[in-house]
Structures are given as structure tokens and as C-alpha cells.
Structure 1
Amino acid sequence: MIKRLNVYLKEMYPLLPRLILSLTLFFEIYMITLLSNHISSFRIGIQEFVGVFTVFGFWLALRIADELKDYETDKINFPKRPLPSGRVTKRDLWILLTIDYALMIFLNLVFMNNVLFFIVLLIYGVLMSLWFFAKKYIQPNLVLALITHNPVELILDYYIISFACIKYKLPVFTGTTLLICVTLYFPALAWEVSRKIKAPDDENQYVTYSKLFGYKKATMFVMLVIFCEMITTNILAYRLSIIMVIILTVRYFWLVYNCIEFIKSPKKFKLGKRVEVYLYITALLVLIMEILNLFVM
């Protein structure tokens, strides 16, 4: 089983890249929450790393849940993936999912101060795996699936924000925390849409946004989402450093350029991969600027 799970994780959830992304996202949100509330002195302990693991473990749980609930359609659309191809079994994934949930629940109950927010996150994740008890309506409707499933990223962001606020005795629900939450949600929304945009010649029976709306309109929607993200990001960044505003605006135009190039020549590259790079670069840049703001600026 361990060998089979190793194959699965290597292909579907590479541990080191996902751990680095979880670490980056957690501390990006954690630090910008503190800096936006004028707190420049903070303590990092076991709670922060439990938070990082929760982000990592929750993403893993969503990945496994998707494998299990989409098994029948994946046999048709993605037959070479580990589960549809038989290289990993459903039992293997259920065991991994059980261990993952058990660790998250234990660590959060023992160490974290925002258990209520964790419970909300957990419940929403479980409801997603059950299609909110409306599978026959949600599964065939890509837009409805996006509306019902994608907000989980907002809840995950607020899980991190709530931890930072409670630890430093800050109000959890304010205009600033809402702005932070929405700002970090936009890149996730852009990536979720862009990874289901294909060039016309690459379309198959798998339902994509490009098949529903055309690849040009779908790509323009991604540009609109990223434009909103640029506005909200720069509102937050302006409070910290004008240099951050300039840098973040430059990376926005880099993605706009890629979107335009994709519209001109959709066979040139996969848009989802470029948006994924944008997401990683954005998170890393913001984290670096936050650290510089704390210790240099």
C-alpha cells in the first residue's frame, strides 16, 4: 500500500511543492493580517506549524475526495491517473484520508485557538465531498460546482486570519480582514477557472469553461478576476510599501500579457500552468516583502 500511495502522491499531490506552498500561503496571510493591524512583533511557535499542516492536510483531503467522488468520470476522462488506472486503490485512499483527517483534528483540538473556524472548514470540506447532497444537480453543472465548491478557499483563508487575530487579541471580522480574505481568494479563483480552459483543438468530452463559453471569453474572465485581485492587493500593499505596489503591478501585467498571448494562439501553452506560476510568484513576493517590511524597511 505504501508503494501505491507513494505513486499516487508523486503524481497527484507532490509533497514538497505542496508543503512549500502551504507554508508560504499560511505565513503570507498570517503576516499581512498582523502588519495590516500595525503589529510588527510576533512569536512563532508550534501553533503556526499546526496551521501550516492544516492547510497542507486540508488540500490533500480535498484532492483525495475529488479522486473518490469523480472516480467514474475520471475512468473516461483521465484513465491514466493512479486511481482510474488501478495503480492505487480506493481502500488506499480511504486509509490515507482517515489518517489525514485524524491528524488535523487532533492537532487543532490540542494546539489551536480557533477550533470553531476549523470545524466550519472541516464541515464545508465534508459537504463538498458529498456534493452538498445535490450530486445530480451539481456534478453536471460546471458553473454550479464552482459556485458551491470554490468558496472553500475563503473559509481556509479565514481559518488562518482567525488564528492570527485571536492570538494577538484582534477583532476577527473587520473590513481589513475581509479585504485580506477576498484578496487571497482571487488568485485561487483565477487558477480554478484557468485550469479548465483549453485550446479548441484540445477539447474532448470533459466539460471545460472554454467549451461552455469559448476560450476567449473564459480567458477574459480570468483577466477580470486578476484585475480585481490587483486592485485589492495594492490597497493592502500601499499601507506597507510603495515598492510592493510597483512589484505586484508588474507581475499583474505579466499575466495579462500571457492571457492575451493565449487568446491569440491558444495552442502556444496551457493557460492554467501560467496562472499557477502567477499564484506561486504572488504568494512568494508578498511573503518576501512582508519579511522585508518587518526587518529592513
Structure 2
Amino acid sequence: MTKTSSPNPRSVSGWAPRVGVFLRERYPLNPVMLALFLQSLVSLGFMTSLLAPPGPDQSWPWLPMIAQSLSVPMFYLLIRIADELKDEEVDRTLFPDRPLARGAVHRRDLVILAQVLEMLLLILNVVLIQSAATWILFSVSAFFIFLMFKWFFIERTLRASLPLALLTHNPSALIISLYLMSAHLETHTRDVLVFALGAWAFAAAWEIGRKIRRPADETTYVTYSKVWGPRLPALLVVLLLGIGIALQVSLFAKRTSFVASPWIAVGLVVLAFLFVTVQSLRFVLNLERRPSADPTLPVGLSMLLFLAWSWLWHAGVLSV
């Protein structure tokens, strides 16, 4: 997501232009924020259509659905800001072209942006959503992000261990998924937990997959391939993707006839998974090959199609 710095990166003046530089390079509206919003909305629609579909005379709860789906990319933007602030000194050495490291955006700019996001999140979740469960999980999500920013108050320990940092930080995906599905948590606890665990598996696969390098490309930057060797993390990505697919598709399978058209999308998910598996195995067998920059992307796109197709089919929009 990092881009090459401009010829005169310090020439930008004003809070909004500097924040614009940061967002374009580190968290672009398209595709990152848009993709997270669509993924969240489609996931919530998928679960609602399975667990509590509106009756013939009822309308879909669009306002809370959109509010929560907008909140998810905002939560992840807060996490991105926290990471940038936490890693400022490290980035000056390893990634000097990043906007904070090169001075294109100031530390205070990001603090103000985080405060603006917090106010917007409060408005979305307190004013537009009337659900105690959502408020509780919203608060838990926000508090967990705060703990991440503080390194859970054991910074030295976590900085010294990338796997331990993954173990402590990656549950944010699980918690935010529970927040997203909070409307169904009380009545369908097991199903919501299954979906959220699937989301956690996908997030863990993405986090590990983006920090795999072939031996010739390793630097002083700590990657999973440097800690565990290149083969284990590549295989872990495949395993975690398989777990995520199995968990989320199982929710659909137990409620849907095998002649339903969304099974076509399940087939596409399987094909995408096989493609990623083959690519990972080729890397494992030949470490001279350069691994994919984002090995989870094919599965992520096919899962988005599957969730959307299932939602529309169960909602009666697609009758085929």
C-alpha cells in the first residue's frame, strides 16, 4: 500500500491536504475503505438473510446495517493510524518513504484524524443504532484498539516477538466481526461465533501472507518467513484460508438446498482456494520464486461474490 514519495514531500501545507496524502498512500478510499464497507455490508446481509430474514411486510434494517458497515472500515483506519504512530521511529529507518516518516504528514495530524473518526463512530453507533448489544461490542472494539495502540502495556515483549504480536493483535478482527453481527448475537450466538471465527482466520491469513518473502529478499525488517522460515507461513496461509472458507460456507450449507444457485459461487471459492494452494506450494517447493504480495486476494474476492449471491438469493432477489 506504500507509494513512492513525491519530489517535494514536505511542500504540502494544511491539515486536510496532509491527511489526504496519508490516506492516499496508506489507506486509500478505493479500494481499501470501499472494499471493507462492501465486505461488511454483504456479510451482514448474508447473516441477516440466513438468521433473521425480514417477513413479507417488513423492511430490511438498512439504517443500522449501513451504520455498522461504515463503522468497520473506520475501525480499521483507527488501527492503521495506531500502527503508523507506534512504528514511526522504525519506519524512519526501514520505510523512509512512508508519509509520516518523511514528514509529508505530522504526528498531530494523525491524532486529530483519529479524534474525528472517534466522533463519527460515536454518532453512527449511539444516534443511529438503538441496540445495547451493539453499543457494548462497539465499546469493546474501541477499547481493544486502544490496547493495541498501547502494545497491551508490554511493548518491549511484543516488539521482540512477531508471533506474540500476531496472537495479541489479530483478535481485533474477531471482535469487530462480533460487533458487526451484534444484532444476531443473543439469538444465534453459535452461528455468529462461527462466522466471526471465519473472519478471524481470513484476517490472520492476510496478516501472515503479506509478511512472507523469499530468502533472497529478506532485510532487517522482521517477517514471518524470517522468524519461521518461508515454508511454514506459506502453508499456514493456506490452512487459515481453508478454515475461514469452511466455517462461513457451513452456515450457508446447513440452510440451503444443494440445487440453489449460490452453490455456483461456492464452486468459484473452491477454485480460488485451489489456485492459492497451488501458488503457495510452488513457492514452498522453489524458494527462488517470489511469493504473491497478497495471496489471500483471490479467495477474498470469490468469498465476496459468494456472500452477495447467497444474500440476494435468500432475500428472493435472485430466483435462479
Q: What TM-score, normalized to structure 1? A: 0.91
Partner residue in 1 for 2:33: 19
User: Which of 67, 70, 86 is 2:87 aligned to?
Assistant: 70
Q: Which moved more, 1:51-60 or 1:24-33?
A: 24-33
Structure 1: distance between partners of 2:283 and 2:257: 32
Structure 2: distance between partners of 1:256 and 1:13: 28
Greater share of helix: 1
SS in 1 for 2:181: helix
Structure label with greater radius of gyration: 2
Contact residue 125 and residue 135 of structure 2 kept, 8 A: yes
The percentage of counterpart residues that share the same residue type is: 28
Change (3 A) 1:144 1:7: same
Change (3 A) 1:184 1:251: same
Matched, 1:285 2:301: no
Letter in 2 for 1:9: L
Partner residue in 2 for 1:117: 137
Partner residue in 1 for 2:194: 179
- Deviations along 1:40-99, whole A, 9 cap, x unmatched? 545143222211221121111000000001111111111111111111110111111111
Alignment of structure 1 residues 113-262 onto 2, 5 Å: 113=131, 114-163=134-183, 165=184, 171-173=187-189, 175-238=190-253, 239-240=255-256, 242=258, 243=263, 244-262=265-283
Q: List gaps (5 residues or longer) in structure 2.
A: 1-14
Letter in 2 for 1:179: V
Q: List gaps (5 residues or longer) in structure 1.
A: none
SS in 2 for 1:271: coil
Kindly state the Cα deviation for residue 138 of structure 1 after the two structures are TM-superposed: 0.8
Structure 2: distance between partners of 1:213 and 1:124: 27
Structure 2: distance between partners of 1:211 and 1:281: 30
Kindly state the Cα deviation for residue 248 of structure 1 after the two structures are TM-superposed: 2.3
- Deviations along 1:75-131, whole A, 9 cap, x unmatched? 111111111111111011111111111111222111222111100111001111100
Partner residue in 1 for 2:77: 60
Partner residue in 1 for 2:68: 51
* Cα RMSD for the two superposed structures: 1.9
Partner residue in 1 for 2:112: 95
Matched, 1:34 2:56: no
SS in 2 for 1:6: helix
Contact residue 29 and residue 157 of structure 1 kept, 8 A: no
Contact residue 68 and residue 124 of structure 2 kept, 8 A: no
Q: Which moved more, 1:232-241 or 1:181-190?
A: 232-241
- Deviations along 1:241-263, whole A, 9 cap, x unmatched? 54143232222112112212332
Change (3 A) 1:40 1:265: farther
Structure 1: distance between partners of 2:127 and 2:52: 29
Kindly state the Cα deviation for residue 284 of structure 1 after the two structures are TM-superposed: 3.3
- Deviations along 1:7-63, whole A, 9 cap, x unmatched? 111110001322322222222321232233262545143222211221121111000
Q: Which moved more, 1:58-67 or 1:71-80?
A: 71-80
Question: How many residues end up aligned between the 2 structures?
Answer: 292
